[in-house]
Amino acid sequence: MPKRLPLTANSLVEIISAYPDMKRIWVAFSGGVDSHVLLDVLKEISPQLEQLRHVEIKAVHVDHGLNEKSKHWAAHCQQICAGYNISLEILQVDAKHQKGESPEDAARKVRYSALAGVIEKNDYIVTADHQDDQAETVLIQLARGSGPAGLASMPKMTCFHRGWLARPLLDFSGDHLMNYAKNANLQWIEDPSNANDDYDRNFIRHNVLPTLKSRWPKIVTTISRTARYNAEVSQLLTQLAQIDIKDAQGPQINTLSVSALLNFDVKRRNNIIRTWIKNLGLPLPQAVHIDHINHDVLGAKHDAKPKVNWSGCIISRYRDLIYAMKPLAPHDCNQIYPWNLQESISIAGIGTLSVSNTSGFGLKKCDYDNAYIRFRRGGEYCKPVGRAHTHELKKLFQEFNIPFWMRERVPLIYINDTLAGIVGYCYCQGFEAAENEKGIEIKLTAFDY
């Protein structure tokens, strides 16, 4: 391991000048000591960055609205940035946590969501996370029973929205930053919530790390090294899973084959499932959820309707396929939506239906006086174009491999109270455009909730 440099302007120039394709740096500036140190050093090296890379430096402050002094803190940040001649953008968010949600997690989610809104291509959000923060994160993940991905903790750089999220101070201790702040006579904000040991991170910071440091003075550096090792292991596991997912993926998009998954041993299968869920951008499962997926979903009978869910994610099975998805938006399947089959129409909880002109296929183009959209209620029949017989809608849905939880969400086109088409699947005989006849094609763009 290379010798750690003291926190100086030169050491930060060396770190930041290595960032690729850098156009603009946004300093995540809370007004606390750590972010003030980062802003101060960046201001000092800004001429060098401008000369080397033509980089613009800006700051962004997220007002969580959780403290009665939050507006004063925003004003303080504005004053500091004005003194540095650095532009500051203040983002106001509602960071109140929901029932059962960690206040820390809730604040972090809305903070990063707000930061994503300012970043453009080749922009960098830089945060002042340091080595002690990394050690705290590892200990929190250990307490949660996390695997290598969790214990890898915070990477020095990662893709973020259209740009990057970087942590240039991860190799420097909290003491390094405090010494810098005192020597530079910086004036920073002390957030009183940082003294509240009800928060896991604060409890570790005030009660656990000091005890560990008294026994092992270099424990923070050692824990950070452990995080790097776990990051390497996590990367290798991800690479293996991406190979295995190709063998386990189902014929439909974003699905996995149950029979293919069962060909893998349980450890490798678990790795596939975790990585697949991560690839889809869904919240990661805990070990208990993986156990339920193996037992309740993969181990279910072919015609069963198993489901495993946790906050922000549902795993369901239909036949030989498992699906991962966000919780479905509320939808009233008893509603009827009149439609002229010309302009687009949006349906709450479903999506937007749009129309394009065709010739010789699709729905016959006419002036329909009594057209509307409704959803399955039971007892519907359709004779698809090209079929010799009429079929029960239930049977057609099974034939089309539509999962049971989606069947009441498939838009049905009715004309003069007769089923004329099943959006995305077929039109019914008598309503199709004949050869060389003008027609329309109806497409559903589902909402992404």
| CATH number of residue 256's parent domain | 1.20.59.20
Instruction: Of 325, 318, 320, 333, give the one whose Cα is nearest residue 281.
Output: 325
- How much is the pTM? 0.76
Residues 181 and 66 reside in one and the same domain: yes
Q: Which of these three, 290, 325, 360, is where a domain ends?
A: 325
Residues 261 and 220 reside in one and the same domain: no
Residues 216 and 254 reside in one and the same domain: no
271 vs 268: CA distance, rounded Å: 5
Q: Which of these three, 272, 296, 325, is where a domain ends?
A: 325
Identify whether 242 is part of a domain. Answer: no
Residues 22 and 65 reside in one and the same domain: yes
Strands (E), 283-383: 307-310, 313-318, 321-325, 337-338, 345-347, 351-359, 363-364, 371-374, 381-382
Q: Which of these three, 298, 325, 352, is where a domain ends?
A: 325
Residues 78 and 222 reside in one and the same domain: yes
Q: Is the pLDDT of residue 39 over 90?
A: yes
**pLDDT for the residue numbered 38:** 96
Strands (E), 109-162: 123-126, 157-160
Q: Is the pLDDT of residue 365 over 90?
A: no
Residues 319 and 346 reside in one and the same domain: no
Domain of residue 429, residue span: 337-446
Contact (Cβ atoms closer than 8 angstroms) between residue 397 and residue 407:
yes
Q: Which residue has the higher pLDDT, 182 or 68?
A: 182
Q: Is the pLDDT of residue 4 over 60?
A: no
How confident is the model over 284-309, as pLDDT tens digits? 898 899 999 999 999 998 888 999 99
Residues 391 and 424 reside in one and the same domain: yes
Binned at pLDDT 50, 70 and 90, residue 103 comes out as confident
Residues 314 and 395 reside in one and the same domain: no
279 vs 390: CA distance, rounded Å: 41
Identify whether 317 is part of a domain. Answer: yes
Total tally of structural domains belonging to the chain: 3
Identify whether 106 is part of a domain. Answer: yes
Residues 349 and 220 reside in one and the same domain: no
Section 385-395 average pLDDT: 92
Q: Is the pLDDT of residue 56 over 70?
A: yes
How confident is the model over 143-163, as pLDDT tens digits? 988 889 889 989 999 999 889
Section 94-99 average pLDDT: 74
Identify whether 115 is part of a domain. Answer: yes
Residues 357 and 211 reside in one and the same domain: no
How confident is the model over 212-229, as pLDDT tens digits? 999 999 999 999 999 999
Residues 296 and 346 reside in one and the same domain: no
Q: Is the pLDDT of residue 100 over 70?
A: no
Q: Is the pLDDT of residue 32 over 90?
A: yes
Supply the CATH number for residue 162's domain: 3.40.50.620
Identify whether 243 is part of a domain. Answer: no
Residues 219 and 256 reside in one and the same domain: no
What is the rounded average pLDDT for all residues in the chain? 90
